[in-house]
Amino acid sequence: MTPARPTSLITGASAGIGAAFARDLAKRGHDLILTARRADRLEALATELRDAHGGKVTILPCDLANPDASEKLCADIEALGLHVDWLVNNAGYGVPGTFEANAWQTHADFIQVLMTAPAELAWRLLPGMRERRYGRIINVASLAGHVPGSAGHTLYAASKAYLIKFSQSLALENQMLGVHVCALCPGFTWSEFHDVTGTRELMNKLPGFMWQTAEVVVSEGVEAVERGEIVHVTGSVNRFIKALMKLLPDRLTLWLSARESRRYRQLEAAP
C-alpha cells in the first residue's frame, strides 16, 4: 500500500539531477532525507522545499567515499525514527584522465561512491521495504552503461553498466513484494557535472539536441519506476543511440568510441 506521504532518501542531492529529484518528489507530496557532502547547499535546498511544499525535509550530510558512511547514514535515519520508502542512488561524478594517470585512491573512492554505496544502501534499506510491501529504488545509471567504454574516464561506463545489471537482478528478486527497482539511464544532462570534471569546454561542442534538462530526466525516471520499468533510457535520441549500438558490430562500435573519446574526453588527469 502506498504511504500517504512516502519518505525518500536522495544521495548527491545538493545539485543537478539529485536536486531535481528532491524538487520533483517534494512536489509529489514526499517527505525527504537529503544527503551530500555540501551541507550549505543541502540547507538552502531544504529551506526552499519546506517553504514551497510544507513537507518534512531532513538533511544528513555525509561523504559516501568513506567506507562506513552508508552504515552510519542508515543508523542516523533509524535514530531519528524515520524509514525510507524511496531510495534514489544518485551520487556520482567523473574522473578525467586515463586509468594509470590517476592515483589508486582516486579510483577506490570512485568505486566506493558509484558502486559500493548504492549496493550497501539498497541492502540496508530493502528489508524494511519488503516488510512494508512497498518500496521504490532508482539507481541513476547512464546511457554510458549501454555503449562501449571510452578512452579516459575509465571506470565511468563500467560503473554504470554495473548499476544496470544490479538493478535488473534486484528488480526480479523483489517484483512480487511491492518493491520496484529501476536503472535510470540519462544521456548528456544539463548540470554542473562537466564543470566539476573540467570538461565543460569539450561538452559544449556537442549539438543541442543531445542534451536534456535534469527536470525532464527526473520526471521520466519517477514515472518509469512507478509503472515497474526496470531499465529506462531517457529521451528518444538516447534510446535511438542505445538501439543502434546493439545492431552495429562490436569492432565498429569500438572504433566509434575511440573516435569520440579523442573529441570529447579529457585524457589527462585533473590537476
Catalytic positions: 156
Count Cβ neighbours within 10 Å for each residue of 83-98 and write b for 16 or more, e otherwise: bbbbbbbbbbebbbbb
Q: What stretches of 12-134 adopt beta strand conformation (E)?
A: 31-35, 57-59, 86-89
- Give the number of other Cβ atoms within 10 Å of residue 159's Cβ: 20
Measure Cα distances from 45 to 14, 18, 38, 133, 211 in Å.
Answer: 7, 11, 11, 30, 24
Residue with cell 579523442: 262
Q: Identify whether the C-beta of residue 159 lies closer than 8 Å to the C-beta of residue 153.
A: no
- Give the number of other Cβ atoms within 10 Å of residue 26's Cβ: 23
Tell me the CB-side half-sphere exposure of residue 170, using CA atoms within 13 A. Answer: 30
